[in-house]
A and B are shown apart, each in its own frame.
Chain A
Amino acid sequence: MNALTPSNGGCRTAPVLKERGQREVFCGLTGIIWLHRKMQDAFFLVVGSRTCAHLLQSAAGVMIFAEPRFGTAILEETDLAGMKDAQVEIDREVARLLERRPDIRQLFLVGSCPSEVIKIDLAKAAERLSQIHAPHVRVLNYSGSGIETTFTEGEDACLACMVPVLKSTAARELLVVGALPDVVEDQMLSLLADMGIGPVRLLPARRIDDTTAVGPNTVFALVQPFLGETHAALERRGARYLPAPFPFGDEGTTAWLRAIATEFGVSEETFDAVTAAPRARARKAIAQAAEVLRGKSVFFFPDSQLEIPLARFLTRECGMTAIEVGSPYIHDTLHGPDLDLLPAGPQISEGQDVDKQLDRARAARPDLTICGLGLANPLEAEGLSTKWAIELVFTPVHFYEQAGDLAGLFSRPLRRKAVLHLEAAE
């Protein structure tokens, strides 16, 4: 990795501005929006309030009316007053649900802020329901509450709760962790297969019957930078982590694949033969978008924990300058390799006090601001160009073939600004 170290040093040891205050972020329930599409036999039952249900339908932006595989068991006053036994209520709702949806093989009971505050024991419920509905349905639980999780940490909590129930194996296998769009996952599997690496196990698998297992000879790679708890849970099962920059852009994808190739003894010739063509395509595609981005400044508000790897991509491969890189949480083991590569200069910040951060962004007047949906239009109205961060989570952006699309997500707001001529012709 030394060859890639920036000449002015990286950001790994840079001082981090830690703030707390109002956070303009989603809670972990939001992850359900993509997880329920990824796991095709899973249903996510949130035990929460009307707010939780409203969040899920608002965050989805458009409603997914193809009978979504998620729902909210809304707590009512009788539940709070202890007039009804929450466990009995959950049993009834789950029985009704599973009767209506026989295609469901795994059910996640998802804790929310209210269910955590009134301490509804969802672990107990999951255990009991697993016994009732075994072997057809497996019931697990995790918390996606805002008091414990930020946006993408919901996926982390979900995957972490699956780790203890994964089958044990002594096989030396690669486990790739993190939800990817199917098309991207297939590209990744084909790259690894071409290098002779396999079988590759996936977490989450598309269906419960798949053969994902873990043990002391498992090595695992993460495709998402927000999987800290899952990382810890897998290490507790004896698996070993392969640290690497995350597979965004040409450089990130190559470094990520190289970490795996090195672990599995793939020769340099094979590696080059497999990666040369897609690398060239990625570079070409990035170059087109980079024409617009080169020399421009970028400011990241904290959102998904993708900020550090994406700042690395934008500065190194698209010629941008980072002013501030905010992340909800920084996890040195996971984010360290990307921080090593991110050229020194930007303010690295963790957590958020949104009004103070907005003051900094207004003072810096970046060419492009990456922020949440609540901030984007107000900042545009102040004349700043923005890219809403949630699109980075909902769009296929990993690996070589998507590198150009990823750069395009950032260049489009700037291109749009350039093509609109709304003032009088004079």
Chain B
Amino acid sequence: MKLTVWTYEGPPHVGAMRVATAMKGLHYVLHAPQGDTYADLLFTMIERRNHRPPVSYTTFQARDLGADTATLFKKSCQDAVDRFQPEAIIVGASCTAELIQDDPAGLSETMGLTIPVIPLELPSYSRKENFGADETFYQIVKALAKPKDRTARVTCNILGPTALGFRARDDVEELTGLLSDLGVQVNVTAPLGATPSDIARLPAAHFNVLLSPETGEAAARWLEKTYGQPFTKIVPIGVGATRDFIAEVSDIIGKPVLIDESRLRLPWWSRSVDSTYLTGKRVFIFGDGTHVAAHARIARDEMGFEVVGLGCYNREMARPVRALAKSYGLEALITDDYLEVEAAIEALSPEMILGTQMERHIGKRLGIPCAVISAPVHVQDFPARYSPQVGFEGANVIFDTLIHPLVMGLEEHLLTMFRDDFEFHDDAGPSHHGGKATAKVEPVAEEVHAPQDDNIIWLADAEKELKKIPFFVRGKARRNTETYATQKGLHQISLDTLYEAKAHYAR
């Protein structure tokens, strides 16, 4: 048993639902008790979908357990086929049904249905949502893909985007446009928007673009092995990654490509003098492996931030994320326990977090700005406007996303200059966020402040001076000073120690 308060991922059958809901003409018959229908609201409320997810729940109750839950399953299966007339169904069990071992696969086989029935084995007690989506998509592709001649023109499939994906809707559109600029047409995008008959013609494409490794890699590997379709390894999020992706596609199709970069604004926005204040901002990055890897590169190479910590919650990506962290001189944090993430952030006291909705809450608690870059998603992550992450427009969107939570350049200087101003002070927060300006509360003077470290004491004048440092760098100043004091073997931090440390760390 493991005590959990908040989770980054749902159970694997929710992953299967993300695939089923993304597709058309497919129905999911889920052996599950009453209550598991809560998952519908993820799609109808968070993603604002205007249709119920195509899922039939058998809804067994305690009194059914002694009787015949298998018949209940078969009836739900038949009802779903009759009512919704899908081209194919997927069948499986949620965590409770896994325990009663009714074998949905075997039961559905005996029913003599005329449409393809794809059984899913999703171990609820060892795996999670991303695995569920990846495995479900793989099983669907394996069951439905049929040998096809390659299309006359160069085409590819886009693999991986699902319902409830982070900006999947806009990423597909942006990527389709980018590929079109490269002279490559999209044969099928799947699972998002695909029907079972679309899945059948996946092998007609010349290659696959793996947009979301978390949810599409198993299918991409199988298609490579079975139909000889190579797949792209670079996810085009960020300027550098997009250029590398274009080169990768050019290699695959075996001819040079010319790309119009006139819409790409990030490089100039980043070079323009207003962005100087971004230099060396200490950021902590956490999310799914794919988005973390992309944002580590963006943060360091395209924004000029300093990456002080990174990690991911999906264990499937642990290996590449560990290697990535190492190349940044860091140790990756691989965990799905948000308390561990919170502790890591607190210890590093970064100036900004690039994270998920969980880190946004952690940031709120710790007073650190956070930009959301990855699932798990919230209703806010489904904006009405076009806001892709991939390609050149994606890079533009990300630039805006990353600077929005920060205090702007000149404002930062003004805060430093007039830090004792009664209304223009730390607690007021960045002015462009429109929060109500709060009057400054005069601190009550105390003789000696509680030690922050085991054997280091801040003297009152130093503590007072520390409070004059703007909130977004105060954590760094405090930590640097304490580290400096420890190195010098000092047990008390005076005003002089504070400024000696400042000079020591000056860049």
Taking beta carbons and an 8 Å cutoff, which residues of A are in contact with B? 20-30, 45, 47, 49-51, 53-55, 57-59, 61, 63, 65, 68, 70-77, 79-80, 84, 86, 89-90, 92-93, 96-97, 113-114, 116-118, 145-148, 150, 355, 372-378, 380-381
Interface string of B22-54 (1 = CB under 8 A from A): 000000000001111111111011001111100
Taking the nearest CB of chain A, how far is it from the CB of B163, in angstroms? 14
**Is there an interface contact between A148 and B6, defined as CB atoms closer than 8 Å?**
no
* Set B13, B45, B52, B60: member contacting A147, Cβ < 8 A: B60
- Which residues of chain A have C-beta atoms less than 8 A from B39's C-beta? 54, 58
Chain A nearest CB from B384 CB (Å) reads: 13
Interface string of B120-163 (1 = CB under 8 A from A): 00011110100000000000000000000000000000000000
B208 within 8 A of A: no
A147 to B45, CA, bound (A): 25
Contact of A355 with B83 at beta-carbon distance under 8 Å, contacts A26-B38, A58-B38, A372-B41 already known? yes
B7 interface contact, C-beta 8 A: yes
Q: Which residues of A contact B2 (CB under 8 A)?
A: 73-74, 76
Interface centre among B35, B99, B124, B361, by most A CB within 10 Å? Answer: B35
B59 and A93: CB pair below 8 A? no
Pair B51/A25 contact, Cβ less than 8 Å: no
Of B56, B83, B125, most buried by chain A (CB within 10 Å of CB) is B125
Q: Could you tell me the distance in whole angstroms from the C-beta of A362 to the nearest C-beta in chain B?
A: 13
Chain A residues near B45 (CB-CB < 8 A): 61, 373, 376-377
Given contacts A72-B3, A73-B3, A374-B40, contact A146 B34 (CB under 8 A): yes
Please give, as numbers and ranges, the residues of chain B lying within 8 Å of A117 by CB-CB distance: 65, 96, 99-100
Q: Are B35 and A49 in contact (CB under 8 A)?
A: no
Does residue B273 face the partner (Cβ distance < 8 Å to A)?
Answer: no
User: Is the beta-carbon distance between B11 and A54 smaller than 8 angstroms?
Assistant: yes
Residue of B nearest to A51 (CB): B11
Least CB separation from A45: chain B residue: B3
Cα-based distance from A279 to B62 in the complex (angstroms): 44
Q: Which of B35, B83, B99 contacts A146 (CB 8 A)?
A: B35
Picked from A27, A79, A118, A375, the residue with its CB within 8 Å of the CB of B34 is A27
Q: Judge if B61 is at the interface, Cβ distance under 8 Å.
A: yes
State how many angstroms separate the Cβ of A139 from the closest Cβ of chain B. 16
- Report the minimum CB–CB distance from A93 to chain B (whole Å): 5
Question: Which residue from chain A places its CB closest to the CB of B7 in the assembled complex?
Answer: A53
With the chains together, A116 CA to B62 CA distance in Å? Answer: 9
Given the interface pairs A55-B38, A113-B96, A374-B44, the reply to whether A27 lies near B33 with Cβ below 8 Å is yes
Q: List 9 A-B contacts (CB under 8 A).
A: A50-B9, A50-B10, A65-B365, A72-B3, A79-B125, A114-B96, A114-B99, A145-B33, A145-B62
Please indicate which of the listed interface residues A23, A51, A70, A117 has the most CB atoms of chain B within 10 Å of its own CB.
A51
Q: How far is B57's CA from A51's CA once the two chains are assembled, in angstroms?
A: 14
Interface flag for B270 (CB, 8 Å): no
A54 touching B10, Cβ below 8 Å? yes
Pairwise interchain contact A378-B52, C-beta atoms closer than 8 A = yes
Q: Decide yes or no whether B262 CB sits under 8 A from chain A.
A: no
Please state if A75 and B94 are interface contacts (CB–CB under 8 Å): no
A173 CB, nearest partner CB in chain B, Å: 35
Knowing A22-B37, A375-B52 are in contact, say whether A75-B125 is a contact too (CB < 8 A).
yes
Does B95 have its Cβ within 8 Å of any Cβ on chain A? yes
Are A65 and B4 touching (Cβ within 8 A)?
no
Q: Is the CB of A74 within 8 A of B1?
A: yes
Q: Inside 8 A of B7's CB, which chain A residues have their CB?
A: 50, 53-54, 57
Contacts of B61 in A (CB 8 A): 147-148
A116 to B65, CA, bound (A): 11
| Residues in A whose Cβ lies below 8 Å from that of B3 | 45, 71-74, 93, 96-97
Supply 17 further A-B pairs (C-beta < 8 A) apart from A26-B35, A51-B124, A377-B48: A21-B59, A22-B57, A25-B37, A26-B38, A45-B3, A50-B95, A65-B364, A71-B4, A72-B4, A74-B1, A97-B3, A147-B33, A147-B61, A355-B79, A377-B44, A378-B50, A378-B51
**Contact across chains for A51 and B95 when beta carbons are under 8 A apart:** yes
The answer to whether the Cβ of B76 comes within 8 Å of any Cβ in the partner chain is: yes
B321 on the A face (CB < 8 A): no
**Closest residue of A by beta carbon distance from B100:** A117
B219 at the interface (CB under 8 A from A): no
What is the bound-complex CA distance between A73 and B60, given in angstroms?
Answer: 23
The 8 residue pairs across chains A and B that have the minimum distance between CB atoms = A27-B35, A146-B35, A374-B40, A381-B50, A113-B96, A373-B41, A49-B95, A54-B10
Min Cβ gap A369→B in Å is 14
For residue B5, CB closer than 8 A to chain A, the reply is yes
Give chain A nearest CB distance to B343 CB in angstroms. Answer: 13
A147 in contact with B62 (CB, 8 Å)? yes
A66 to chain B, nearest CB (A): 9
Q: If the complex has contacts A54-B10, A96-B3, are A150 and B34 also in contact, measured as CB distance less than 8 A? A: yes
